[in-house]
Amino acid sequence: MQEAMIAVATACRDGAESGAMTFPQIVAALAGAGIESYAVDFRRQTITYFAQDGDSLELATHRVETAIAPRFDVAEIQAAISEAQTLAPGYTYRGFCEKAAAAGCAGYVVSLLGRRAVYFGRTAETHAEHFPD
């Protein structure tokens, strides 16, 4: 992956975890750098960015302390997503990750091209969420 893409991906990961960047800012920065999707894996504490040319970059993420629940609770995942979308008072990305894990989410894939995120559970249940307009 090109050095400029690596810098943008790293800045977006850091911006999400520190609260310095919102999801729309992250999406715009990644798309502008030629990154078309990324995957977050709570079990491995990684985020993998995928470039349009097929190249990829894996970075470490913060550790999600909450155990991933065995049951995939779509309503709880949607509630966590809603807090993120509205930047509810007290919202943090780290808090979102903890709530998602408690709701049985093992990770998620964000498609910038498809303008959606797909959340998945330990037994491959999924929930797709389209980006708000």
How do residues 29-59 score in pLDDT, each as one tens digit?
Answer: 999 999 999 999 999 999 999 999 999 999 9
What is the bridge-based pairing of β-strands 126-130 and 116-121? antiparallel
Which of 23, 32, 71, 69 shows the shortest CA–CA distance to 51? Answer: 32
Q: How many CB atoms lie within 10 A of CB 70?
A: 9
Task: Give the list of residues 6+ apart from residue 89 with CB closer than 8 angstroms, or none.
Answer: none
* Cβ proximity of 107 and 122 under 8 Å: no
Q: 133 pLDDT exceeds 90?
A: no
At residue 129, the pLDDT reads 96
Q: 1 pLDDT exceeds 80?
A: no
**Summary count for the chain: helices (H), strands (E):** 4, 6
In tens, the pLDDT along 81-104 reads 999 888 899 999 999 999 999 999
| Domains in the chain with CATH codes | 3-130 (3.30.1810.10)
- Give me 57's structure tokens: 């970059």
At residue 38, the pLDDT reads 98
Please state the pTM of the whole predicted model: 0.94
In tens, the pLDDT along 106-127 reads 999 999 999 999 999 999 999 9
